């Protein structure tokens, strides 16, 4: 087993913020609050609420598996259509078989987190949803795996060059990469800079498990499903993901939330955020002070990627000028920015591909920022499953909405027309006659469109 003392010396408990988690058998444990953090496939699981995060990622995997199974059934049903051409038949067969095999491969890769524990029906998963930042699905950035380890040499090199230029001539000693994804940038940076320690942190176990294996010299076979396949075979391509050579140590993988990074203040002299600040589920105004806190005085924050802020609140979708101002008011010297146009996700198997104007900046830590907002603690009734859940006004309103939704769905019984359903709703005094028919039409249409929406895996 490799020496974990460097990593251990930097850890700070993400649950209580007080103790320094230390090795305890095959896991880690905080001496202050006694929270136990498991380790899976050599990767410490350092979420603030480790059990809840585990349940959520399992649930996400199961929901994805349920979608894959549904999609495969749809493909096989399409095969039964009369007068289907030979080419279409072959394509559908290839896709169905690939999806089924893909599901098996995901289960094998995610076996360390108990992939097959506690399955429910697809409807149950859709109804429940999960609460790891909503946008972060298990396969949200799946194509990155193939870009990083199969066909993305030009894109990877361009991204690396921008970062190396931004880091400047002084080689960092302890580097933290937040949102490390499929890991190629970490691998290339480690080979190029040889810091004493490089920590690759991501929230998604699939990427950490695959990247760790590849770093160790393993080959991992996974399907690519291009957005705009060039030909029939390109609809699902089984690819071999591998590095040119194994990495001889120096990198630690950590599964955690970058908004609650499990490290003591001042742990790193460089923090890198590649393609993260605009997709993370936190306002940059509070995320920037968190990055500041992780750096030692004079440390560097190097950011690169798009600025397509995904926040629901329009006030938080910042321009580059606003980003620079926010960074400069978070304990950093005003950063210099540069912009490069680089190819992005140009798979040779796809007719789809982009060119992105990527923004890179380096910000030097000048002073401590005003402390970031403290970690938001989950209420006790969400941590302990034996306590009553309070009937919050928001919950009651949601429950009413769902009851109405459920009631309307029961009116779809194979006999009622939209006009008849509208009459029922009016007779139940749920709606006025002038509005009912259009509303029911909209509702049924939405259900229909949702049922035909393509699953993204």
Ligand X SMILES: C[S@@+](CC[C@H](N)C(=O)[O-])C[C@H]1O[C@@H](n2cnc3c(N)ncnc32)[C@H](O)[C@@H]1O
| Alpha-carbon span 406 to 402, nearest angstrom | 6
Of the candidate residues 95, 234, 259, 360, the single one contacting ligand X (CB under 6 A) = 259
Q: Is the Cβ of residue 55 or residue 163 nearer to ligand X in the bound state?
A: 163
Q: How far is the CB of 450 from ligand X (least distance, A)?
A: 25
Please work out the total of residues on this chain that contact ligand X, with binding judged by CB under 6 A.
23
Q: Which stretch binds ligand X (CB under 6 A): 180-188, 284-292, 327-335, 407-415?
A: 180-188
Q: Which stretch binds ligand X (CB under 6 A): 29-37, 105-113, 256-264, 413-421?
A: 256-264
Q: Is the Cβ of residue 166 or residue 178 nearer to ligand X in the bound state?
A: 178
Q: Is the Cβ of residue 258 or residue 363 nearer to ligand X in the bound state?
A: 258
| Alpha-carbon span 354 to 63, nearest angstrom | 29
SS3 222: strand
Secondary element (H or E) of residue 274? strand 268-274
Q: Is 206 in the site for ligand X (CB under 6 A)?
A: no
Residue 441, burial from CB neighbour count under 10 angstroms (0-12, 13-18, 19+): middle
Q: Is the Cβ of residue 275 or residue 318 nearer to ligand X in the bound state?
A: 275
| Alpha-carbon span 1 to 321, nearest angstrom | 47
Binders in 89-148 for ligand X, by CB under 6 A = 133, 136, 141, 144
Q: Which stretch binds ligand X (CB under 6 A): 200-208, 211-219, 283-291, 357-365?
A: 200-208
Q: How far is the CB of 282 from ligand X (least distance, A)?
A: 7
Q: Is 48 in the site for ligand X (CB under 6 A)?
A: no
Binders in 262-281 for ligand X, by CB under 6 A = 274-276, 279-281
Q: Which residues contact 91 (CB under 8 A, 6 or more apart)?
A: 232, 235
Q: Which stretch binds ligand X (CB under 6 A): 197-205, 224-232, 343-351, 371-379?
A: 197-205
Locate all alpha helices (DSSP H) within 353-411, ordered by sequence: 380-383, 393-410
| Alpha-carbon span 237 to 102, nearest angstrom | 10
Q: Is 74 in the site for ligand X (CB under 6 A)?
A: no
Sign of the Cα torsion 390, 393, 398, 402 reads positive
Q: Is the Cβ of residue 220 or residue 408 nearer to ligand X in the bound state?
A: 220
Q: Which stretch binds ligand X (CB under 6 A): 104-112, 122-130, 252-260, 348-356?
A: 252-260
Q: How far is the CB of 297 from ligand X (least distance, A)?
A: 25
Residue nearest to ligand X (CB): 181
Q: Is 203 in the site for ligand X (CB under 6 A)?
A: yes
- Token pair belonging to 184: 């190629």
The full DSSP string for 291-319 is HHHHEEEEEEEEEEE------SSGGG---
Q: How far is the CB of 258 from ligand X (least distance, A)?
A: 3
Q: Is the Cβ of residue 203 or residue 421 nearer to ligand X in the bound state?
A: 203
Q: Is 416 in the site for ligand X (CB under 6 A)?
A: no
The full DSSP string for 190-206 is HHHH--SEEEEEES-HH
The full DSSP string for 123-180 is HHHHHH---S-TT--TTTTTHHHHIIIII-HHHHHHHHHHHHHHH-SS--SEEEEET-
Q: Is 179 in the site for ligand X (CB under 6 A)?
A: yes
Asked if 190 contacts 251 with a C-beta cutoff of 8 angstroms, the reply is: yes
Q: How far is the CB of 381 from ligand X (least distance, A)?
A: 24
Q: Is 226 in the site for ligand X (CB under 6 A)?
A: no
Q: Which of 274, 309, 271, 50 is nearest to 172 (CA)?
A: 271
Beta strands 295-305; 268-274: pairing state? parallel
Q: How far is the CB of 382 from ligand X (least distance, A)?
A: 19
Residue ranges that bind ligand X, judged by CB under 6 A: 133, 136, 141, 144, 178-181, 185, 201-204, 207, 257-259, 274-276, 279-281
């Amino acid at each position: 087993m490799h020496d974990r003392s460097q990593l251990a010396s930097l850890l700070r408990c993400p649950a209580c913020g007080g103790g320094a988690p230390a090795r305890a058998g095959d896991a880690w444990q905080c001496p202050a609050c006694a929270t136990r953090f498991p380790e899976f496939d050599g990767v410490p699981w350092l979420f603030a609420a480790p059990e809840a995060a585990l349940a959520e990622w399992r649930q996400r995997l199961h929901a994805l598996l349920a979608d894959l199974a549904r999609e495969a059934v749809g493909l096989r049903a399409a095969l039964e259509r009369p007068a289907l051409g030979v080419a279409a038949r072959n394509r559908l067969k290839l896709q169905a078989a690939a999806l089924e095999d893909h599901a098996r491969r995901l289960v094998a890769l995610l076996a360390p987190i108990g992939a097959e524990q506690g399955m429910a029906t697809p409807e149950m998963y859709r109804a429940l949803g999960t609460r790891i930042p909503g946008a972060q699905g298990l396969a949200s950035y799946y194509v990155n795996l193939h870009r990083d380890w199969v066909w993305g040499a030009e894109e990877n090199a361009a991204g690396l060059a921008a970062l190396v230029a931004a880091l400047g001539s002084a080689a960092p000693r302890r580097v933290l990469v937040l949102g490390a994804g499929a890991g190629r940038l970490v691998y290339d940076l480690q080979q190029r800079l040889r810091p004493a320690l490089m920590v690759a942190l991501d929230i998604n176990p699939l990427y950490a498990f695959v990247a760790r294996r590849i770093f160790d010299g393993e080959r991992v076979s996974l399907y690519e499903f291009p957005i705009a396949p060039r030909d029939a075979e390109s609809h699902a391509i089984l690819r071999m993901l591998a590095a040119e050579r194994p990495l001889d140590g120096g990198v630690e993988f950590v599964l955690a939330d970058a908004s609650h990074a499990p490290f003591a203040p001042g742990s790193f002299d460089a923090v890198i955020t590649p393609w993260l600040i605009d997709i993370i589920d936190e306002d940059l105004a509070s995320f920037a002070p968190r990055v500041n806190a992780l750096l030692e005085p004079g440390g560097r924050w190097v950011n690169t990627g798009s600025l397509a802020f995904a926040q629901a609140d329009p006030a938080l979708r910042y321009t580059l000028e606003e980003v620079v101002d926010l960074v400069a008011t978070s304990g950093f010297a005003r950063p210099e920015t540069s912009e490069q146009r680089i190819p992005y996700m140009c798979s040779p198997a796809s007719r789809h591909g982009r060119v992105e104007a990527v923004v890179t900046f380096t910000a030097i830590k000048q002073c401590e920022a005003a402390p970031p907002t403290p970690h938001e603690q989950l209420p006790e009734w969400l941590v302990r499953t034996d306590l009553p859940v309070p009937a919050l006004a928001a919950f009651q309103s949601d429950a009413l909405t769902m009851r109405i939704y459920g009631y309307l769905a029961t009116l779809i019984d194979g006999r009622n027309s939209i006009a008849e359903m509208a009459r029922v709703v009016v007779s139940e005094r749920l709606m006025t006659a002038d509005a009912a028919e259009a509303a029911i039409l909209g509702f049924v249409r939405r259900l229909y469109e949702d049922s035909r929406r393509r699953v993204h895996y």
